């Protein structure tokens, strides 16, 4: 009983790590730009499709794992391919912001929702034309699981899940470092806190906003890459469920809070996986029940808004 509970908690950490990668991009865009991006789920799906092409090509250039060393090399190639696939989203995100989003910053929120919903439909059609309507699988999951991880401490657990959890922690640490320790990150935070003052001291808000939207698209695509190299497959419409759960996460954590997104994603991941294991009808309701409970205690979410990094 206790052993199975730990497995479900690990599954929750794995699920929450993927959710954090997706929600972090959304909370960055919302925290700085004030845009609720309905197309974020399709950027995640586009990352999964790009991973199929790029990781599929790179994996074909190396031999299949035959031992621990070759498995580690194979895993590093897959991880590098996943980063390359997510990097494809950087210019795409920047172009979408500069072309479509920038003209409506001063418009009512309804225009933002309609625009991003239109982008959602366009991106769906682009993926349908580019990769076809059927689900596609890059087929590297079994190779990643050849990497020795938990077996070294006498536990049987998929190495792919361990890799995703470690990558999720690394993404969180990098985001905190970037926005807290680098000059560019501090300028982005300053722009988010006081846009008029930033403009007055010579900061190009247009350039900052394009950068922020591109970073948000990158992490959406990276979340899709992590799913695509796993047991799942890239398919049309795969972004809808993650989009809804990302909204739940950023509401739980606090609108625009990176720390809140990280804690909220892990809470949603663990609660949903444990609930699914012991009472499956709660699978869909668990994240929303958790959100209601948090809002009853802290209506502003667990953490503050953008700029709270200390």
pLDDT at 233: 87
pLDDT, mean of residues 270-285? 84
Partner residues linked to 136 by β-bridges: 234
Identify the pLDDT of residue 76: 92
Q: What angle do CA 176, 147, 169 make, to 5 degrees?
A: 10
User: Residue 6: pLDDT above 50?
Assistant: yes
Residues with Cβ within 8 Å of 177's Cβ and at least 6 positions away in sequence, in order, are none
pLDDT band at 221 (very low <50, low <70, confident <90, very high): very high
pLDDT at 227 over 80: yes
- The answer to which of 2-16, 91-105, 121-135 has the lowest mean pLDDT is 2-16
pLDDT at 290 over 60: yes
Burial 154-179 (b: 16+ CB within 10 A, else e): eeebbbbbbbbbebbeebbeebbebb
Q: For residue 28, give Cα distances in angstroms to 83, 166, 191, 211, 306.
A: 19, 21, 12, 11, 8
Alpha-carbon distance 229 to 121, whole Å?
25
């Amino acid at each position: 009983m206790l052993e199975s509970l730990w497995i479900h908690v690990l599954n929750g950490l794995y699920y929450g790590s993927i959710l954090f990668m997706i929600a972090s991009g959304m909370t960055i865009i919302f925290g700085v730009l004030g845009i609720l991006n309905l197309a974020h789920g399709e950027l995640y799906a586009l990352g999964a499709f790009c991973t199929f092409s790029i990781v599929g090509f790179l994996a074909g250039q190396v031999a299949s794992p035959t031992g621990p060393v070759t498995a580690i090399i194979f895993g590093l190639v897959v991880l590098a391919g996943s980063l390359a696939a997510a990097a494809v989203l950087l210019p795409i995100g920047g172009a979408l912001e500069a072309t479509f989003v920038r003209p409506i910053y001063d418009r009512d929120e309804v225009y933002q929702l309609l625009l991003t919903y239109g982008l959602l439909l366009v991106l769906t059609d682009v993926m349908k034309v580019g990769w076809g309507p059927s689900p596609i699988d890059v087929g590297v999951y079994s190779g990643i699981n050849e990497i020795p991880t938990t077996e070294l401490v006498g536990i049987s657990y998929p190495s792919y899940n361990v890799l995703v959890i470690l990558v999720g922690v690394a993404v969180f640490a990098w985001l905190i470092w970037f926005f807290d320790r680098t000059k560019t990150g501090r300028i982005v935070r300053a722009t988010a806190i006081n846009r008029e003052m930033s403009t007055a001291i010579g900061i190009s808000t247009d350039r900052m906003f394009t950068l922020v939207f591109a970073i948000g698209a990158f992490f959406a695509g990276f979340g899709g890459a992590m799913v695509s190299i796993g047991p799942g497959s890239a398919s049309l419409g795969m972004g809808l469920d993650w989009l809804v759960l990302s909204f739940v996460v950023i509401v739980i954590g606090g609108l625009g809070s990176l720390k809140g997104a990280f804690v909220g994603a892990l809470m949603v991941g663990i609660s949903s996986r444990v609930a699914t294991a012991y009472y499956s009808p709660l699978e869909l309701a668990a994240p929303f029940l958790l959100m209601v409970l948090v809002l009853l205690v802290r209506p502003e979410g667990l953490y503050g808004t953008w700029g709270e990094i200390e």
